[in-house]
Structure 1
Amino acid sequence: MIGGGTGIPVILKALRKEAVDLTAIVTVADDGGSSGELRGALDIAPPGDLRNVLVAMSDMPKLYEQIFQYRFKATDGPLSGHPIGNLVIAGVSEMRGSTYNALQILSTLFHVQGKILPSSETALTLHAVFKDKTEVVGESHIADYPGTIDHVYVTNTKNSDTPCASRAVVDEIMAADTIVMGPGSLFTSILPNVVIPEIRDALINTTAQIVYVCNIMTQRGETESFSDADHVKVLHNHVGTEFIDTVLVNVEKVPDDYMDNNKFDEYLVQVKHDFIGLQNCHVRVISSDFLRLVDGGAFHNGQAVAEEIMRISERRS
């Protein structure tokens, strides 16, 4: 799986129960909150998305998960807002010289089912170029600009070198039978991985079936008014070719006035369906009820998505 944010851990947690050789490739362009502070202070890849994936792919007891995910209170001075897991990943990264090395150790410690790889071994800075030619630098600032994103790209945060994929990432993509992207923020969780040149080239050249799990809701500052076909077109435009084979689309309606706009203020309305547009993207469309409603939010049903991914993989084999 390729992505970041809170979307892919839901699917990874379900896929971990299946008889598959699972690899997660996770974005390292987050510069906000605890991850942003730690990457700036220690010159490491941001740990937040990696932390959530580590928990999703681990068989750690519930108490361990609660400890790992515990976030210090706003009144806790220098520790304010930091999850314990972020501090653990940061500490082991410093101790072992890289976040890649830290993840290998922590994966063994927490009995991770599969592999977790940062998309790059250095922190990356995300740049968004809007239709009006304005460029916004930094993942945490992009949603605040009132415009439509044209494209994004990444640079190394600490130097001017071309961003490189983390060791083993390209090999995993090339050896995979099925590659799953999403769900997750299109411009800030998925594309920061895809636009790394080595990863982009690997996605073009791999023989794997590439599956995109389309988002259920549009996102403020990123995909306002987007249809499912618009999501696919953006991905194809960034790679430079039609590389996605199959798209999973949720067709179950989110009830009117269901979303808690105070709790989930970044999500706007349900993604519109454009099946003719998807057909023109030359992708296979699997539409079903992938919806899970929880605490005023609309999420993917991880088990339903995982079952569909397994069917896709079995048909290919």
Structure 2
Amino acid sequence: MRKKRITVIGGGTGISVILNSLRKQDVDITAVVTVADDGGSSGKLREDMQLTPPGDLRNVLLAMSDMPKLYEKIFQYRFADDDGPFAGHPLGNLIIAGIAEMQGSTYHAMQLLTKLLHTTGKIYPSSERPLTLHAVFEDGTEVAGESHIAKHRGMIDQVYVTNTYDDSKPQASRNVVQAILDSDMVILGPGSLFTSILPNLMIEEIGQALLETKAETVYICNIMTQKGETEHFTDAQHVRVLHQHLGQPFIDTVLVNVDQVPQEYMNDHEFDEYLVQVEHDFAALASQVPRVISSNFLLLEKKGAFHDGDLVVEEIMKLTSHKH
């Protein structure tokens, strides 16, 4: 029996939770990571070096690595705010940027780093060149750049991506399309709908591969709504947005958390972009996707609400064993 092939698509902070638990299973993992981040350290490095932003890739690399905690500390170490040009950069971002320059691309840098850090599985940036995310808001305003989109008040109608440094059409990284087509399962999320998941899907070849793949396509719905992105969205609205962006339904299964986040638990200061819990609309979900799995996937830690990777992966493994 060959191992099941699972491809996980999204942004670094969201999907890392799932990847960290998934690598303990006997499956063949590919992570496809968004490259539309233009804020913070990633944004600065991307601007200075015209390279795909390293932050999301760094988080995924660590989630899939079996290296000792000390290495992780080194990689995540962030220079102090008064460190001049180094201020605020995590050491791992500089390592990725340096190796990308040495190897000629972020794609090659990730292939070398996956060996170096003993990662379980493959990691590909969704595109080999930096992308700019554009959001068209419901009032018709258009805003470019992920960090600017987050600050703009109003509801997003749709997003699209462009190559940052020229007018050519965004292309998927090599091997990404094939990985999606060869997968037994493709997992989207968890993560910000408009800024972590959709930037990958709006690369035309990736969107097309998702429509064509025979893989079971699973969407892990967010636990909390996000300010300016998904305010007051139900789980069904998240799915509707994904389907609208690709022009047709393509998700087979949605994982929904039904555990309640205690009212006073969330630290609003720390997680100010998260507003309220995503509400459920099971009738609308059932009309859009063949299968809905609702269970307790909640992990409360550090005053935030997250997915419990092990509980999610338990459901994912059940799904892979039922397949055909």
1:89-113 alpha-carbon deviations (Å, 9 max, x no partner): 0000000000000000000000010
1:144 is displaced (CA, Å) by 1.4
In structure 2, which of residues 84, 92, 100 is the aligned counterpart of residue 93 of structure 1?
Answer: 100
Q: Is the Cα contact below 8 Å between 2:12 and 2:58 reproduced in 1?
A: no
Stretches of structure 2 lacking an aligned partner (at least 5 in a row): 1-7
Residue 149 of structure 2 aligns with which residue? Answer: 142
Q: Is the Cα contact below 8 Å between 2:253 and 2:289 reproduced in 1?
A: no
Residue 105 of structure 1 aligns with which residue? Answer: 112
Q: Distance in 2 between matches of 1:179 and 1:282?
A: 15
Q: How does 1:1-317 map to 2 (within 5 A)?
A: 1-317=8-324
Q: Percent identity?
A: 64
Q: Is the Cα contact below 8 Å between 1:5 and 1:185 reproduced in 2?
A: no
Stretches of structure 1 lacking an aligned partner (at least 5 in a row): none
- TM-score, structure 2 length as denominator? 0.97
1:282 is displaced (CA, Å) by 2.8
Q: Is the Cα contact below 8 Å between 2:54 and 2:96 reproduced in 1?
A: yes
Q: Is the Cα contact below 8 Å between 2:106 and 2:125 reproduced in 1?
A: yes
Aligned-residue Cα RMSD (Å) equals 0.6
| Aligned pairs, number | 317
Q: Distance in 2 between matches of 1:282 and 1:307?
A: 21
Q: Is the Cα contact below 8 Å between 2:254 and 2:289 reproduced in 1?
A: no
Q: Distance in 2 between matches of 1:206 and 1:88?
A: 35
Q: Is the Cα contact below 8 Å between 1:252 and 1:290 reproduced in 2?
A: yes
1:131 is displaced (CA, Å) by 0.8
Q: Is the Cα contact below 8 Å between 2:19 and 2:63 reproduced in 1?
A: yes
1:257 is displaced (CA, Å) by 1.3
Runs ≥4 in structure 1, deviation > 4 angstroms?
A: none
- TM-score, structure 1 length as denominator? 0.99
Q: Distance in 2 between matches of 1:283 and 1:182?
A: 18
Q: Distance in 1 between matches of 2:263 and 2:35?
A: 35
1:119-143 alpha-carbon deviations (Å, 9 max, x no partner): 0000000000001110000000112
1:284 is displaced (CA, Å) by 0.8
Q: Is the Cα contact below 8 Å between 1:123 and 1:157 reproduced in 2?
A: yes
